[in-house]
Amino acid sequence: MEDTFLEGIAYILPAAVTGFVAYYMFNGFIKSQNSERKLEILAAKRKDSLPIKLQAYERLLLFCERINPVKMLLRIQPLSTNTTEYLQLLIANIEQEFEHNLVQQIYISDDSWTAIYAAKSAVINKLKQVAENSSSANELRENVLIDYSKTLPPTETAIAYIKNEVKKLL
C-alpha cells in the first residue's frame, strides 16, 4: 500500500509541477499581451489627441496675440474721446476673445491655462490703471503704448509658456 502511495505521488508530483509552471508562464504571457495592448491603445489616443491639443495651443497663442495691448490698441480705434468708453470697449473686446476660447482649457495643461488667465487679468488691470491717469481716449492709448515700450507685455510671458508646452508635446 505504501508503495502504491509513493508511486502515485511520483506520477502526481511532476504533473503538478508542470501544471504550475505552465500556469505561471501563460499568466505572464497574458499579462504581457495586455500591457502591449494598453500601450498600443494609449499610443493611438495620443496620436488622435495631439492635433486637437496643438490646435488648442494655437488658438490660445492667437488669443494672447490679439489681447497684446500694443497690437490691440492699433487694431481697435476709440469711438469717442471718452476714456471710460474706450476702456470699456477694450475690456469688452478682451472678454469676448476670452469667452470665444474658453473651451480650449480642456485640451491644455492647467499651468498653461493659469498663465493665459493671468496674462488676460494683467492686461485688463494695467488698462484700468492707466485709464485712471488719462483724460482722453487718445491719451490712454499713448500712455499704454509708452508704458509697454518700457516693459514686456504679460501676453509675451504667456506666449513663451505656450511655446514651451508645445515643445514638450512634440
pLDDT in tens, 118-164: 999 999 999 999 999 999 999 999 999 999 888 999 999 999 999 99
Q: Give the Cα separation of 94 and 104 in Å (integer).
A: 16
pTM above 0.85, yes or no: no
User: Cβ(112)–Cβ(71) under 8 Å?
Assistant: no
Residue labelled with grid coordinates 496643438: 54
Contact 116, 165 (CB under 8 A): no
Q: In which residue are the cell numbers 492667437 written?
A: 62
79 phi, psi to nearest 5 deg: -85, -25
